[in-house]
Structure 1
Amino acid sequence: MAAWAEQLQRELAGRGLAVASVPGKGRGLVAARSFFPGEVIICQEPYASTPNRISVGSSCDHCFASGNLRKCSVCRVAWYCGSVCQKEEWKLHQLECQAISALTEERKKMLTPTIRLMVKLILRRKLQSEKAIPSSATDNYDLVDALESHISKVDDNQLVLYAQMANLVQLILPSIELDLKEIAHTFSKFACNAHTICDPELRPLGTGLFPAISIINHSCVPNAVLLFEGRTAYVRALQPLSSNTEVSISYIETAATTLKRHNDLKQYFFTCTCPRCIKDSEEDALLEGYRCKDQKCDGFLLPDSGKKAYTCQKCSISRDEEEIYMELQDWQTALMYCRLTIPVYERVYPPFHPMVGLQFYTCGKLEWLLEYTEDALKSLTRAADVLRITHGTQSQFMKELFGIVDLRTAV
């Protein structure tokens, strides 16, 4: 066993975990002790991460916060929420800033989040190899190197794209000697190992590569959930885990038929054989009953209030109905759609799923706004019961939720 792998095993052993060979899956993360529901199994900072640039300056490059952002005055690409985050990123961004500042405006436009993620990864590897920043058993490039790229299964068009992207990275970092084939392989690793970083309400903020967490395999009936606080990834147990149990999370939306789930998993180059995927089609029949009639749409149906009809929540309108009416400040209609959605969510998701908790959370906020005080307290309490397992209890989001429930109980 390589030295880095031995160091990783020792580090994980201290957390009650081990990397093991799982039949039919390759590597996997296994519990070496018991974990209770809501307990953090593993947490990790990203080896490299970058915000989405849906809108300019949408979030801080370090902590992914969205308020009080200031642009780097030199490269004019990176954004920070304050001096603390800027200082935390400085050793890395100093090199990135120099590289970006040397680019023409046309080439700056080619700095997609994926390209920036690669640039940051290469620069972090350089800084660690020069001992300019620390490394550890769970934070080193050897872990990235060990990730599976599945490059032999990638189609020719995608291979050409990876090669073009590798050449662009070389143009951005001309002073660093790069192996373009290795860079192309790493882009392929991003496709099947990187995670979307989301806020507590599951809105996407950016992308991060978490090499230790990437060891965790998928299941359509996961026993753990991956969520984020800032850009830090937390994997929490959804149910009691005993020693020698493999830890699993879901890579995809689980409220879908087996065929849809398998199609969604194709980007990861495996076929799931979890209990849901190998049992009979009774559950699929239920889920099909909630699916949109348009076979090209993966949305599900919601009862149309006051009518004996169902409307697809995706293709009838581009976003959830309650979001539309909340933007219009039609709180009563927004609450109606939110309440209609909850029974469907409870049917298609397991009891402790963040989508269930967040829907109760939205419902409770609307009920309080409309002065349905008793209903609001019930909804927010249900939300807290679910989200304390999926989100933990220490984040600012959860502290605010508990504060609201306590305040409204007192009222």
Structure 2
Amino acid sequence: MAPKLERFVSPGKGNGLRATTRIQCGELVLSAEPLACCVSNKLARDVCHHCFTRCKTLLRCSQCKMARYCNIICQKQAWACHKRECKCLQRLLPRIPTDSVRLAARLIFALLSPPTDHSEELYTLEEHESHLSSMSEQKKQGLSQLASMLELYLKQETPYLVQEMPPSCREPLSLIAKVTCNCFTISDEELQEIGVGLYPSLSLLNHDCRPNCVMVFEGPKLKLRAVRDINPEEELTISYIETLSLTEDRQKQLEDQYHFTCHCQQCDTRDKDGLMVLGEEAAWHQLKEALPRLEGLKAESNWQALLKSCSHLLSTVGSNVPDENLYKLRMTDMALDASIYQGHWEEAMRYGEKTLPVYRQYFPDPHPVHGLQLMRIGKLKHHLEYIEDALDLFKQSYQIIKLTHGHDHSLTTDLLMKMDECRSEMDQHSSSTH
């Protein structure tokens, strides 16, 4: 484990991680492989189950018909993890267990064949909280159904496994609860969810709605980077949720999912709430009410209907609701997505431009979401041949991405290439006009 951090008891929060030395903004604090991970069911056909790369064509496991790999090498490397799972999947076909059940099973298999390198973990699975005592009956019932599914899934494999299992895994309900409270969503470089994983030592990181660290994934490998300068003995924090929402909504999500009340500075001062609900209340309420229906259209990839609804609603509220309003921002972002999928580039660029000043206000620290938005709008500008504007946006994006993702990340390299393309196009243009 890196000497940059140590475990400590965080006042009011239980266990935590703090810096042992000064850490600079953009510095890689830690990188970790998961103890267990799996690709999300909804992307099982699109993502390699070993390296988590998206591929157009994947090789399918001939036995379980579910696991898919980008090539023979990945398939061979995955076999040690997959062989037990493969038998379980075959017996359950055509049913596929949920992501959390598959992750819990993979966790059990991983603990039965411990890695040869005994790297120093700061936190073991035994110490993870299940939070069962503080859960509502309804939530416990949902988890009990998952625990029954886990037992059914492991049926053939478990008679002789139980004796070998660590005590922490012998009780399916407790294990499922630990997994759902402590797992991380693994995302691709566009920050889209592609899987789930358990990284025991990183479960020590406590939440803050304005954290001093961010997590970025390279395949299933997790990289933790500082987004502010951190002093020795200062606690390291990450955000467990998407922070761009009102304080009461963030707090409700944290209580429901992670069973604690957040008392970070942003929650205690509610300093962004006023900005998020700027404008005429009756007008922005219309947008808020429409969002669930629009999310549905987005999930169905019904881009035409989505774009029509968004542009109608946005023109209806007009200037009564400013761009900073949270619900207007969400709708503008959806209109941007829908315009891109429909190939309406000019329209997409107009929506995108409206979001950038707002993102700057909501993400004062380097944040992957802000960096990616700048890159996205830069690509639209480039495509539409606004080369100088594109270069400017790529530069701004690069200033963020090099800190949140690091200099060696493929996204950072991609940005450098985009900037070079813009410069050479500008050179060609100026030499042809002289």
TM-score by shorter chain over 0.5: yes
Q: Out of 23, 31, 54, which is 1:35 matched to?
A: 23
Q: Out of 85, 91, 94, which is 2:74 matched to?
A: 85
Deviation of 1:55 after TM superposition, in Å, equals 4.5
Letter of the structure 2 residue corresponding to residue 154 of structure 1: M
Letter of the structure 1 residue corresponding to residue 211 of structure 2: P
Corresponding position of 2:132? 151
Letter of the structure 2 residue corresponding to residue 23 of structure 1: P
Distance change (3 Å), C-alpha of 1:171 and 1:136: same
Query: For the aligned residues, what is the CA RMSD?
Result: 2.6
Corresponding position of 2:380? 366
Distance change (3 Å), C-alpha of 1:135 and 1:218: same
Contact residue 394 and residue 419 of structure 2 kept, 8 A: yes
1:344 counterpart SS class: helix
Equivalent-residue separation in structure 2 for 1:25 and 1:388 (angstroms) = 31
Q: Out of 230, 241, 246, which is 1:252 matched to?
A: 241
Corresponding position of 2:285? 293
Contact residue 42 and residue 235 of structure 1 kept, 8 A: yes
Equivalent-residue separation in structure 2 for 1:282 and 1:57 (angstroms) = 43
Q: Out of 50, 58, 63, which is 2:38 matched to?
A: 50
1:117-156 alignment to 2 at 5 Å? 117-128=103-114, 133-138=115-120, 143-156=124-137
Corresponding position of 1:198? 187
Deviates more, 1:372-381 or 1:350-359: 350-359
Alpha-carbon displacement from aligned partner over 1:216-235 (angstroms, at most 9, x marks no partner)? 00011211111111111111
Equivalent-residue separation in structure 1 for 2:319 and 2:329 (angstroms) = 19
Letter of the structure 2 residue corresponding to residue 127 of structure 1: S
Letter of the structure 1 residue corresponding to residue 266 of structure 2: R
Distance change (3 Å), C-alpha of 1:216 and 1:306: closer
Letter of the structure 1 residue corresponding to residue 106 of structure 2: K
Q: Which runs of 5+ in 1 are unaligned?
A: 1-10
Alpha-carbon displacement from aligned partner over 1:77-103 (angstroms, at most 9, x marks no partner)? 1111112222221112112112322x1
Q: Out of 32, 35, 52, which is 1:64 matched to?
A: 52
Corresponding position of 1:384? 398
Deviation of 1:121 after TM superposition, in Å, equals 0.8
Q: Which runs of 5+ in 2 are unaligned?
A: 293-309, 426-434
Equivalent-residue separation in structure 1 for 2:219 and 2:290 (angstroms) = 32
Deviation of 1:110 after TM superposition, in Å, equals 3.7
Letter of the structure 1 residue corresponding to residue 73 of structure 2: V
Alpha-carbon displacement from aligned partner over 1:241-260 (angstroms, at most 9, x marks no partner)? 11111100111122222212
Deviates more, 1:361-370 or 1:289-298: 289-298
Equivalent-residue separation in structure 2 for 1:203 and 1:185 (angstroms) = 29
Corresponding position of 1:212? 201
Contact residue 262 and residue 271 of structure 1 kept, 8 A: yes
Number of equivalent positions: 388
Corresponding position of 1:169? 150
Q: Out of 400, 412, 416, which is 1:398 matched to?
A: 412
Deviation of 1:264 after TM superposition, in Å, equals 1.7
Q: Out of 338, 347, 352, which is 2:352 matched to?
A: 338
Distance change (3 Å), C-alpha of 1:198 and 1:56: closer
2:37 counterpart SS class: strand
Deviation of 1:388 after TM superposition, in Å, equals 0.9
Contact residue 163 and residue 181 of structure 1 kept, 8 A: no
Distance change (3 Å), C-alpha of 1:297 and 1:27: farther
Equivalent-residue separation in structure 1 for 2:12 and 2:190 (angstroms) = 34
Distance change (3 Å), C-alpha of 1:352 and 1:304: farther
Corresponding position of 2:428? none
Letter of the structure 1 residue corresponding to residue 208 of structure 2: S
Equivalent-residue separation in structure 1 for 2:120 and 2:70 (angstroms) = 27
1:272-283 alignment to 2 at 5 Å? 272-279=262-269, 281-283=270-272
Equivalent-residue separation in structure 2 for 1:53 and 1:240 (angstroms) = 38
Distance change (3 Å), C-alpha of 1:296 and 1:305: closer
Equivalent-residue separation in structure 1 for 2:234 and 2:81 (angstroms) = 38
**Identity rate of aligned residues, in percent?**
30
Deviation of 1:404 after TM superposition, in Å, equals 1.4
Distance change (3 Å), C-alpha of 1:184 and 1:369: same
